[in-house]
Structure 1
Amino acid sequence: MQLIEINKTRYRRHLNRVIVACIIVLAVGSLTLSQALIALFPDESGSHFHWNLLGVIVSSVTIGWILNKYRTHDYMREVVYVWELKQALNKINRKMPKLKIAADAGNGDALLAIHYSYAGSRLLWHLDDNTIIMDELAIEQKKLDNLAAQYQLTLDANDYNDKMLKQF
């Protein structure tokens, strides 16, 4: 997955609207469905937990289906890209201890995966205005750059491929 520049304003606006729409659909859908089921199938004991749960489950599945159906729509482009980038970074982070050991030994794929992780994290943190730990990231990036120089490697995040992680 290539790192691309994202229009921060557009991304935040679209993400907020998608979140609000999902919340509204979940609330209205689950309440409407559960109330309809309660009216059709009342319980003498007064417990309608199963109908309420069914309403939430059906509404959640419907939201998931709608999001999946429209994931390729231009409106969702930035939102889906960031979601997929977060998944890619999570894959790297789960293997980070092994990657760091391999990077210290001079493994180019490990160095490249860590470099991609840092570049992707920087992009995400910029989009989310999470600048608190950017200084720590700069320190880690400097260490990585020193390792790459030590092993005479040039790191380019565009060269990263998630298949590299299989060896770790």
Structure 2
Amino acid sequence: MQLIKISKARYRSHLRYVFIACIALLAIGSLVISQTLIAFFPNEDGSHFHWNLSGVMLTSIFIAWCLNKSRQHPFMLEVVYVWELKQALNKITRKMHNIKKSAKKGDVNALTALQFSYAGSRLLWELDDNAIVMDELAIEQLALDTLMQKYQLSIDPNNYTQSMLDAF
């Protein structure tokens, strides 16, 4: 996965529209479906929980289908990229303990995964204005830079591939 610089304003604007559309679709769709089901299949007890739940579930499935179908649309470029970046970083984070141990031994794949993780995290945190943990990230990056100097390596985070994690 390549790290690309994206516009914070454009990303936030598009993400806001996607969230608002999903919330509106969920509210309207679940009400329409559940009320239709209640009209066709009324319950004498007055409890329509299962029809309401069915409406929410069917609408959620429809929203997921719509989001999946619109992944390639230019409007969704930043939103999908950030979502995929978060998934890639989560996969690294789950194996971070083993990656750090291997990095201390000079494993190039581990060092590349760490470099990608730190650069990707910095990109995400800048998009979200999350400055709280930037100092911790700078400390981790300095430790990684020290390791790369020790092993005389220069690592580009864009060389990272998910298959590098298979060894950990």
Same fold (TM over 0.5): yes
Q: Does 1:69 align with 2:52?
A: no
Offset at residue 122 of structure 1 (A): 0.2
Q: Does 1:127 align with 2:127?
A: yes
2:80 & 2:96 partners in 1: Cα distance? 24
Instruction: Give secondary structure in 2 for the equivalent of 1:6.
Output: coil
1:76 & 1:158 partners in 2: Cα distance? 22
Offset at residue 165 of structure 1 (A): 0.4
1:155 & 1:143 partners in 2: Cα distance? 14
Residue correspondence of structure 1 range 77-156 to structure 2 within 5 A: 77-156=77-156
Matched residue type, 2:78: E
1:157 & 1:75 partners in 2: Cα distance? 26
2:133 & 2:158 partners in 1: Cα distance? 24
1:101 & 1:151 partners in 2: Cα distance? 15
Q: Does 1:51 align with 2:23?
A: no
2:37 & 2:162 partners in 1: Cα distance? 46
Q: Which runs of 5+ in 2 are unaligned?
A: none
Partner of 1:31: 31
Offset at residue 159 of structure 1 (A): 1.0
1:101-141 Cα distance to aligned partner (Å, 9 max, x none): 00111111101101100000000000011011101100100
Offset at residue 75 of structure 1 (A): 0.2
Backbone CA RMSD of aligned residues: 0.6
Identity fraction in percent = 62
1:137 & 1:82 partners in 2: Cα distance? 19
Runs of 4+ displaced beyond 6 Å: none
Q: Which runs of 5+ in 1 are unaligned?
A: none
Query: TM-score, structure 1 length as denominator?
Result: 0.99
Partner of 1:18: 18
2:109 & 2:151 partners in 1: Cα distance? 12
Matched residue type, 2:71: R
**How many residues of Structure 1 are paired with residues of Structure 2 in the alignment?**
168
Offset at residue 40 of structure 1 (A): 1.0
Query: TM-score, structure 2 length as denominator?
Result: 0.99
1:128 & 1:31 partners in 2: Cα distance? 33
Offset at residue 158 of structure 1 (A): 1.1
1:158 & 1:21 partners in 2: Cα distance? 33
Matched residue type, 2:20: V
Matched residue type, 1:163: S
2:127 & 2:3 partners in 1: Cα distance? 13
